[in-house]
Amino acid sequence: MVWLIPLLGLLAGIMFGSMITWSIPLAMAKYLSIAVLAALDSVLGGVRCILEETFNGLILLTGFLTNAVFAAFLAYLGDKLGVDLYMAAVFVFGIRIFQNVATIRHHFLTRILNKRDVHATPDSE
């Protein structure tokens, strides 16, 4: 049940963000999108670690902040150098997000299938 904490935080953040009417300058949209991808990667990584029973709250918090700030900084540096480094960050975080989602899905499917196998096995006499 502990795995609900990061998901509830994510849902609360989405609800809070959708209630606020705050426009982001177009020049900053690239940096914010990278920071959001990094944060989403951290949240899904936290859920994965909870399911694998290796969760550490300090690691989640520091990874969340470090990933978001560092990814936005790399996008900024890329802009100053004239290189689209944010595309590399989108690619990397996209892969990590899909890997985390696949691991979470695999965990739940394995749990469901194992329960079904236990119930379907006839009692030996």
Q: Structural domain boundaries of the chain?
A: 4-120
User: In the chain, pLDDT over 70 holds for what percent of residues?
Assistant: 92
What pLDDT score was predicted for residue 122? 61
pTM of the model: 0.72
pLDDT over 70 (residue 124): no
What is the pLDDT at residue 123?
A: 57
Torsion angle, CA of 48/54/57/62, rounded to 10 degrees? Answer: -80
* Pairwise CA distance, residues 75 & 89, whole Å: 8
Cβ atoms within 10 Å, residue 55:
18
